[in-house]
Amino acid sequence: MSEFISNFPILAIMSLFLGAFITSLLGRKNAVVRNVIVFISMALALIMMLALIKPVFIEGKVIGYWLGNWAPVADWAIGIGLEVDALSLFFGLIITVAVFVSGTYSFTYMSHDDSLVNYYTLFLMLSGSVLGLVLSGDLFNMFVMIEIMTFTAVALTAFRNTYEGALEGALKYLVVGALGSSSVLIGTALIYSQLHTLNLAQITALLTNDQNIVTGIAFAFLFIGFGTKAFLFPFHPLAADAHAVAPASISLMISGVLTKCGVYGIIRLVYCLYQNIDRPFVQYLVTAFGAVSMFICVTMAFNQHNFKRLLAFHSISQVGYVITAVGLGTSLGLASGLYHAMNHTIFKGLLFLTAGAVQHMTGSLDLDELGGLSKKMPRTCILFLIGAASISGLPPFNGFGSKWMIYQAAFEKSSQTGNVFFLVVCVTALITSVLTLASFVKVAQSVFFGQLNPKFENTKEVPLAMRIPMWILAILCIVTGIFPGSVANKLLMPAVNAATNTRAYVSAMMGEAYAAAHQVVHAGAADVQLIGVYSPMSWMLLLLSITSAVCLVAVLGSPEKKKLEPVVGANVPNGPMTPGSIPVTSQSREADERELITDDLDPKYESFFSGEHAEYSQVGGSDLFWGFKKNWRHYFSFMHEWHSGILNDYALYGACSLALTLLLCVLFL
Amino acid sequence: MTNVLLYAVHLFLFPGLLFIVVMGLLLAGIDRKLVARMQNRVGASILQPWYDFLKCCGKETIIPRHARKGLFLGAPVACFVILISAALFIPVFGGLSMSFEGDVVVILYLLTAAGVAIIVGSAASGSPFAGVGLSREMVAMISYELPFVLVLLAVGALCGQDSAYGVTFSMDEIVRWQTENGSSLLHPAMIPAAIAMLFVIPCEIGMHPFDIAEAETEISEGTLTEYSGAPLGVFKLCHCVKMYVMTALFCALFLGGLSTGILLVDALLEVVFCIIVTFLCMTVPHAICARFKVEQVFKFYWTFVSALALISLLLVWIMR
Amino acid sequence: MIIMNYIASFILVGLGIFCIATKRNLLKICIGSGLIDYGCNLLIVSVGFHDGGTAPIFAIRELTRASFFVDPVPQALTLTSIVIGACSTAMTLSLIIMIKKQYGTLKADKIRRLKG
Amino acid sequence: MLQNMIDSSMKKSPWIFHINAGSCNGCDIELVSVLTPRYDAERYGFKLCGSPRQADIVVVSGPVTMQSRERLRRTLAQVPEPFCVVSLGSCPRSGNVFKGSYAIDGPLEKYVHVDVSVAGCTPKPEAIIAGLAQAAQLLEEKRKEARK
């Protein structure tokens, strides 16, 4: 069994690609066959990834697999290798879980659409290429997987091509995405020109000693390439356009999974390939990119009118958190970054699925139009609240644990190195977290609470088949939130050690002697002092205070039973003073007719509207947070122009950032 | 068994539920009395908040038609629970608290969660006044969060100088450091941070000059428009408890060094200092100036008060 | 001599980026992205060049110690990247056709419904 | 025992909600002057509140005009039990100088049982405080009666 385990990575990828192939073949006939095939291939990939946990996480083995059995000849890697260490398995797990949830969700969510065979073929190709990128041990293989990922994501974004703006978003994503993948290609070519190999392990070994200017330029190209895939600062308008128009299950994939591949690429590049994370310049570069994209995207998200576009900007600002944490360079920083990446996929997936549910039922996503849906869709409202609470980092949920670790890592870094830059980053992170909370309060008020728009009078709750994946994610949100300590030790520590311990990475593929020959640094296991957030004592404390509070309120309740709303229409006399039972004189009778009292419901339970008949007046969408917007109006108007929506501008921003990074890398690296 | 009993007493009696609620009501009563005296009028009795709370519990609870019953009734209880658990993390003059390593950030986030509970409660009530009220409450929260965080970082940096990580996020560590090298108010670098904290407290609680969320004259009780009866009473109780929580936090952060070790004397000291801080930061502004406009609150906190907090943070940085 | 290839490839890439960034017509943008791909392909091919080496084509018996080949690996890479370049151009063109049908124009600055 | 304490606290902290049913603002200013330092109604616990949901004493001033009739009725319906109604000035009692006009719709008594009526065209602040104090006493009896 143990040697068979080394075939699991390729089997997982093949199960997804084969699933895509078979669905396009057999799926045309009827839906059930197609759904079964899709379900089996997703489940197979998930099971194999789970099976890999024991050897890789617990025993710490690094699984190498040479395609076509082309083992290295005379210490030179010829064939294409797959390499699974704890870091890539960590991301592999996130990806397979997200794929599984998104797939089961889209069975019912996409039922209204047509030509679903193409949808599922593209969907399985996308998940296969994403898994392939994370598990591959060969740089050019990563480039090929990035290209497949981009093409399938673009095709899926434009899947509902009659949807307003879908084609435009897809085109922008494709052109600037192609720009990013070409820079990855150029980086690969430059690395090959210097080291004459493409295998990641061998590159790591060779790069430890001879880093010249060309590898520096290759670093810049690769960093910008992976940055495009992670939608970092200059590339974030792409994600906003792509998410707003894509179906909800695909926006879950884009925001939860594609951005993680960009993050994985950057971590692999900075921690393993070049191992130059301890150089101050690289730390500044990565953290600066993360902090800027974190802050700009949250302010852009603040006054959006479209629910999914707001979620898209938030997902990039959360990815900015992850990149900032990764750029700190300390082991606590990397641990908090990985933890936040996992949490982000979970709660952002939940939020996108709730957005999909709202769109599926009401057909509109405009924040100014929606309102009061919590009465019609109560369970979706609860799910949304769980997701919103965890993204804004409220204590019992998972966002809190990871965000707080990021602040601590940033602040410790700044106090140890005595450098004010990381202090500014820490304060920006805190402000961003408050603005995230504010924008999710805005979404809660304008979509779920407030008064119901008469147009959505007959919306019903989402079918159960759509709610199951949402509940899976919600439970994951709560579980990883309550036990951050155990999550950290079992999942994060092996991944962090794997990222920093490159000797095991190299020796798994190229053999121990080769690694020794090139003095690959063997960083010790990181002794991150993980502060136990939840000791059992504080749980007892919370429980006791809850019971005391509830009985306090119950005891002091008013003597007669709290009367709920009486039967609609019946004017139940409750005491002599109800105006309903007033003597009606002739003079006031015809006054009544003139007054045309339309509402026969008991006015007692109407919301207070200073006496007026409470007609539909929803306070939501763009007329919230007036004070904040007034102070920032210059900044917001500038940002509004800057995101012009023109393809050329986005390409220009991308090219400028590429040029800037190239310049910096040539000067400092 | 004894430590569970001691723990239950600790939770319910001294620094626990009873003490916090009594202190909160006392502080609110004293504050109203002092404001009245400053306006040269007699003013209500010190027990007035207690009477208000009892009267509210005696009234009928009306749940409006548009409201979402579960959240509408649950929000006040959640807010009360969160505030009590936040208060329990604050050491009462050097001891007797459930403190562990990272609880400064837990307190910060529990206070944010209390604000979110109020917001969810008013959103669930479905009234347009509550909609405007919750957006103002959120703007107030954004505006006071920045200086509040900077003050916590400054105190953490000061009291964490000699710790391994150069910073501390634990209340016990802060109080212990202050008992050794004198409370942080005496350090010259911390004066601006103390002033900034004094400004943050009224906005966090929603006291008069900064109560843009419950502006009676403008948006008829804002967030609490639809509340009546026991939930309203619990929200008013939360308002008073928040006064105690913030003033106790101020005492722990800046006057930590004055604890004498004897339990009773410590409690009295805590009461006296809380009253002084309440007078300084809530009564005086309440009596002096009128209610701020929404964007004035935001501009005031993000420019003037944050600058104060930043100065002290940089001073601590340089003096290290 | 090989330096000319490198300069040519970087000029091609620069031209492609310039074309994408400034030209308003979608078709020109598609041509620009094609240019970038060709620049990359040229770069990859010229990376594997050895002075005096012959093409790496040989029968089983002809492989002797003395035969000196050009590095075959980049040529294999170029094959795939040419295919990928073709696919990306095909995808871009198909999107442009559908956009022309839906928006009625090819001017990039008219196609900006998703903004702000 | 607790219920008795709640009953006694009803009269110690009565919150006032003011409804202007078309008044000439003479009584409104007098009502607010009651809370100024000179007459200081707050020492008895009176406090103006912004929403009828939190009102204990509803003070109505002005002759009930046609326009304000519907709004008056709806707002009075939204006040939680037990509450008192105080009519301020002589307009709600009798329509004062506006009696018989087409725009007036009868005394306040037609719409709600008025517990305490403070007479006078702008009654003196002391009279208003006396009226409010009586209304506060009534609150306690109402709650006792409602509890039985």
Averaged confidence pLDDT in chain A: 83
Instruction: Name all chains with 3 or more CB-CB pairs below 8 Å to chain A.
Output: B, C, D
Q: Is A576 on the interface with D (CB under 8 A)?
A: yes
Q: Is B12's pLDDT higher than 90?
A: no
Query: Which residue is closest to B51 within chain D, CA to CA?
Result: D9
Q: Is the model's pLDDT at A185 over the cut of 90?
A: yes
Predicted TM-score (pTM) of this structure: 0.89
* pLDDT > 70? residue D26: yes
User: Which of residues 9 through 68 in chain D touch A, CB cutoff 8 A?
Assistant: 19, 51-53, 66, 68
Contact A451 B166 (CB under 8 A): no
Contact assessment for residue B133 and residue B218, using Cβ atoms and an 8 Å cutoff: no
Share of chain B above pLDDT 90, in %: 24
Q: What is the pLDDT of residue A586?
A: 43
Which of A174, A185, A245 is nearest residue C40 as measured by Cβ atoms?
Answer: A185
Mutation site for B-interface testing, chosen from A534, A631, A635 by largest number of B Cβ within 10 Å: A631
Which chain A residue's Cα is nearest to B137? A625
Q: For C23-50, write each residue's pLDDT tens digit.
A: 999 999 999 999 999 999 999 999 888 8
Chains C and A touch (3+ CB pairs under 8 A): yes
Average pLDDT of A541-550? 66
State mean pLDDT over A35-49.
Answer: 92
What confidence tens digit (pLDDT) does each residue in A426-446 have? 889 988 999 999 999 999 988
Which of A438, A449, A540 has its CB closest to that of B123?
A449
Question: Rounded to whole angstroms, how far apart are CA atoms C14 and C32?
Answer: 10
Q: Name the band, by pLDDT with cuts 50, 70 and 90, for residue B49.
A: very high
When pLDDT is averaged across residues A312-334 and rounded to a whole number, the result is 90
Q: Which residue has the tokens 């949830």?
A: A101
**A523 CB burial (10 A radius; 0-12, 13-18, 19+):** middle
d(CA A287, CA A428): 12
- CB contact under 8 Å between D9 and B55, yes or no, is yes
Contact partners for chain B, using 3 or more CB pairs closer than 8 A, are A, D
Q: Which of B76, B128, B145 sits opposite A617 (nearest CB)?
A: B128
Average pLDDT of the residues in A364-388: 88
pLDDT of B29 over the 90 cut: yes
pLDDT greater than 90 at residue A264: yes
Measured CB to CB, residues of chain B less than 8 Å from chain D are: 36, 39-45, 48, 50-52, 54-62, 129, 216-217, 219-221, 224-229, 232
Task: Name the residue with tokens 């966002």.
Answer: A399
pLDDT over threshold 50, residue A582:
no
- By C-alpha distance, the chain A residue nearest D71 is A611
pLDDT recorded at residue B5: 73
Residue with tokens 């060779």: A206
Mean pLDDT of C94-99: 92
- pLDDT of res. A564: 40
Longest dimension (CA), chain C: 66
Chain D: nearest CA to A572, how far in angstroms? 12
Query: In sequence order, what are the residues at sequence separation of 6 or more whose Cβ sits closer than 8 angstroms to the Cβ of residue C68?
Result: C50, C52, C53, C54
CATH topology for D2-143 is Rossmann fold (3.40.50)
pLDDT of D119 higher than 70: yes
User: Positive or negative, the Cα torsion across A138, A141, A145, A151?
Assistant: positive
* Confidence at residue A539, expressed as pLDDT on a 0 to 100 scale: 58
Name the residue among D37, D53, D143 with its Cβ closest to that of B41: D37
How many residues are given for chain C? 116
Q: Which residues of D touch B225 (CB under 8 A)?
A: 50-51, 53
**Residue with tokens 């040519």, as numbered in its chain:** C8
Instruction: Determine contact: A568 vs chain D, CB below 8 A.
Output: no
Element counts in chain D: helices (H) and strands (E): 5, 5
Task: Indicate if the pLDDT at residue A300 is higher than 80.
Answer: yes
Q: From the CA of A612, how many Å to the nearest CA of chain D? A: 6
φ, ψ at D59 (rounded to 5°): -100, 120
Q: Read off the amino acid at residue A466.
A: M
Closest by Cβ to A168, choosing from C44, C87, C113: C113
| Domain enclosing residue B125, as ranges | 2-319
Query: What are the distances in angstroms from CA A25 to CA A14, A18, A19, A125, A199?
Result: 16, 11, 10, 14, 35
Nearest to B225 among D38, D51, D143 (CB): D51
- Residues A446 and A596: their CA atoms lie apart, in Å, by 32
Which one of C26, C81, C114 has the shortest CB-CB distance to A165?
Answer: C114
Q: A570: pLDDT confidence band, cut at 50, 70 and 90?
A: very low
CA closest to B86 among chain A residues? A542
Q: Does A533 touch chain C (CB under 8 A)?
A: no
Please give the Cα distance from B179 to B159 (Å, whole number). Answer: 11
Residues in Cβ contact with A441 at an 8 Å cutoff, skipping those fewer than 6 apart: A624, B116, B119, B123, B134, B138
pLDDT at residue A45 is higher than 90: yes
Please give the tally of structural domains in chain C: 1
C65 domain residue, yes or no: no
Exposed/middle/buried for A386, CB within 10 Å: 0-12, 13-18, 19+?
buried
Would you say D21 and D72 are in contact if contact means Cβ atoms under 8 Å apart?
yes
pLDDT classification of A519: cutoffs 50, 70, 90: low
Q: What are phi and psi of A196, to 5 degrees?
A: 55, 30
Q: How far apart are the first and last CA of chain D?
A: 15
Closest residue in C to A184 (Cα) is C40
The set of residues, in sequence order, having a beta carbon less than 8 Å from that of A363 and lying 6+ positions away, is: none
**How far apart are the C-alpha atoms of A606 and A589, rounded to whole Å?**
24
- Amino acid A187: pLDDT: 93
Chains A, D in contact: 3+ Cβ pairs under 8 A? yes
> pLDDT > 70: what percent of chain A?
87
Amino acid at C7: I
Residues 456-485 of A with CB under 8 A from B: none
The one-letter code for the residue type at A52 is L
Which token pair is A59?
A: 């025993």
Helices B48-58, D2-12: axis angle to 10 degrees equals: 110
pLDDT at A569: 35
For a pLDDT cut of 90, what percent of chain A falls above it? Answer: 33
From the list B36, B55, B61, the residue facing D13 with the nearest CB is B55
Flag whether pLDDT at B50 surpasses 80.
Answer: yes
Is C16 contained in some domain?
A: yes
**C83 domain residue, yes or no:** yes
Q: Measured between alpha carbons, how far is B21 from B29 in angstroms, rounded to an integer?
A: 12
Between A492 and A548, the higher pLDDT residue = A492
**β-bridge partners, A546:** none
Residue pLDDT, tens place only, A61-81: 888 888 888 877 777 778 888
Report the residue of chain B nearest A390, measured CA to CA. B113
From B132, which residue of chain A is nearest by alpha-carbon distance?
A619
Number of residue pairs across B and D with CB atoms under 8 Å? 91
Asked if A583's CB is within 8 angstroms of D70's CB, the reply is no
Q: Name the region of B132 (left: φ>0; alpha: ψ -120 to 50; beta: rest).
A: alpha
In whole angstroms, what is the distance from residue A269 CA to residue D148 CA? Answer: 78
Q: Is the pLDDT higher at A431 or at A571?
A: A431
Burial class (CB in 10 A: 0-12, 13-18, 19+), A132: buried
> Which residue among D3, D66, D81 sits closest to A591, beta carbon to beta carbon?
D66
Within 8 A by CB and 6+ apart from A295, the residues are: A317, A320, A428, A431, A432
Residues whose CB is less than 8 angstroms from the CB of residue A162 and which lie 6 or more positions away in sequence, other chains included: none
Query: Could you tell me whether strands A63-66 and A81-84 are parallel, antiparallel, or unpaired per DSSP bridges?
Result: antiparallel
Say whether pLDDT at A585 is over 50: no
Q: Could you give the 3-state DSSP secondary structure of residue A199?
A: strand
Segment A385-410 mean pLDDT: 86
User: Which structure tokens are listed for A403?
Assistant: 């965000």
Which residue in the block uniquely carries the two structure tokens 């430890």? A208
**Which range is least confidently modeled, A22-31, A603-612, B123-132, B275-284?**
A603-612
Domain count, chain B: 1
pLDDT digits 0-9 by tens, B73-121: 888 888 888 888 888 888 776 555 565 666 788 888 889 989 999 999 9
Closest alpha carbon within chain A to C91: A151
Residue A559, pLDDT above cutoff 60 = no
Q: pLDDT at position A553, please?
A: 63
Whether the CB of A536 is below 8 Å from some CB of chain D: the reply is no
Inspect the interface and report whether the beta carbons of B65 and A619 lie closer than 8 Å. no
The subunits that touch chain D, with at least 3 C-beta pairs less than 8 Å apart, are A, B
Q: Tell me if chain C has a CB within 8 Å of the CB of A179.
A: yes
Round to whole Å and give the CA distance between A340 and A319: 9
Full residue range of the structural domain in which residue C100 is found: 2-49+70-110
Residues of C in contact with A154 (CB under 8 A): 91, 95
The alpha carbon dihedral of B283, B284, B288, B289 has a sign of negative
Above 50 in pLDDT, residue A580?
Answer: no
Please list, in sequence order, all residues whose beta carbon lies within 8 angstroms of the beta carbon of residue A460, skipping any fewer than 6 positions away.
A361, A376, A377
Put simply, whether A154 touches C (Cβ < 8 Å) is: yes
Closest CB to B225 among D12, D38, D53: D53
Could you give the 3-state DSSP secondary structure of residue D59?
Answer: strand
Assess contact for B245 and B86: CB atoms under 8 A: yes
Residue D134 tokens read as 């009586």
Is the CB of D69 inside 8 Å of chain A's CB atoms?
yes
CATH of the domain at C9: 1.10.287.3510
φ and ψ at residue A607, rounded to 5 degrees: -70, 145
Q: Rounded mean pLDDT of A485-513?
A: 79
Contact criterion met (CB below 8 Å) for C115 and A645? yes
Q: Retrieve residue A635's tokens.
A: 């900044």
User: Chain D partners of B59 at a C-beta cutoff of 8 Å?
Assistant: 56, 80-82
Specify the pLDDT at position A600.
60
Of how many residues is chain A composed? 669
pLDDT above 70: residue B43: yes
Confidence check: pLDDT of A534 > 70: no
Verify whether the Cβ–Cβ distance A415 to B157 is below 8 Å.
yes
Banded pLDDT at A587 (limits 50, 70, 90): very low
Are the C-beta atoms of residues A397 and A479 closer than 8 Å to each other?
Answer: no
- Do residue C40 and residue A175 have CB atoms under 8 angstroms apart? no
Type and span of the H or E element at A515: helix A512-517
Contacts of A557 in chain B (CB under 8 A): 57, 61, 230
Q: What is the pLDDT of residues B276-297, one digit of tens each?
A: 999 998 899 998 888 888 888 8
The highest-confidence range among A91-100, A527-536, A541-550, A605-614, by mean pLDDT, is A91-100
D5–chain A Cβ distance below 8 A for any pair: no
The interface predicted TM-score (ipTM) is: 0.88
Q: Are A177 and A225 in contact (CB under 8 A)?
A: no
pLDDT for res A596: 45
Amino acid at D142: K
Residue A529 has pLDDT above 60, yes or no: no
C99: which chain A residues are within 8 Å (Cβ-Cβ)? 167-168, 171
Are B73 and B231 in contact by the 8 Å Cβ rule? The answer is yes
